[in-house]
Amino acid sequence: MALVKQAMIAVTAAVIFALVYGEGVDPNCLGCLCEASTKCNASTACHTPYPGAYFCGPFLISWAYWADADKPIIEGDNAEQKGAFERCVQDLYCGAETVRRYMAKFLDDCNGDGAVTCIDVIRTHKFGREGCGGVIQQGDKFWSQYQECETRLSL
Ligand SMILES: *[C@@H]1O[C@H](CO)[C@@H](O)[C@H](O)[C@H]1NC(C)=O
């Protein structure tokens, strides 16, 4: 258990490091988003949790989300080529870039508290650009994982 936790913190640190060089969303916030989504497991494959849903990579990104983010690609790839979506969002850097671009376009004060904070990023990621003010279910794992990270990093 301690080892798993150590590994997880190392991964999060790597993500945060990777994200420091980007613009926009606070790197710590992106790190916590990654942890909340998959414990920031970079090996997270694509999966279909329920019919019609298809989520990939450490940030659990859907094709529509990636398209809304203007289809970022890994170096040398072609956005219109089959698999470009999967190749990008399963890559920690490209996945993070997808989140950043999505937020650059759609991030807003979702919960109406007068400030745009990491909570709004989390909400926009989970609920999408429409309906980011939605109700977070009690006991939601994504949410509790985020809160644990938020406390640990003093976000
Ligand atoms: C990460 O995800 C892969 C693929 O789902 C899984 O095999 C692996 O055990 C996971 N690693 C951790 C540390 O959870």
Q: What is the pLDDT of residues 102-121, one digit of tens each?
A: 999 999 999 999 999 999 99
Q: Is 43 in the pocket of ligand 1 (CB under 6 A)?
A: yes
In this structure, which residue's CA is closest to atom 14 in ligand 1? 41
The minimum-distance atom of ligand 1 relative to the CA of 4 is: 13
Higher pLDDT, 89 or 130: 89
Q: Judge whether residue 122 has pLDDT over 70.
A: yes
Q: Is 41 in the pocket of ligand 1 (CB under 6 A)?
A: yes
Extents of the domains making up the chain = 2-153
Q: What is the pLDDT of residues 17-32, one digit of tens each?
A: 555 555 688 989 999 9
Distance 40 CA to ligand 1 centre (A): 10
Q: What is the pLDDT of residues 134-149, one digit of tens each?
A: 998 888 999 999 999 9
Max CA distance (Å), the chain: 43
Q: Which residues make Cβ contacts (< 8 Å) with residue 139, sequence separation at least 6?
A: none
CA nearest neighbour of 71 among 88, 49, 58, 54: 88
- What are residue 138's phi and psi, to 5 degrees? -60, 140
Distance 42 CA to ligand 1 centre (A): 8
Which CATH number does 2-153 carry?
Answer: 1.10.530.10
Overall pTM surpassing 0.95 (yes/no): no
By percentage, how much of the chain surpasses pLDDT 70? Answer: 85
Q: Is 45 in the pocket of ligand 1 (CB under 6 A)?
A: yes
Single-letter amino acid code for the residue at 143: W
Q: Which of 9, 34, 41, 59 to mutate to test the pocket of ligand 1 (most atoms within 8 A of CB)?
A: 41
The H-assigned helical ranges of 44-89 are 63-68, 84-89
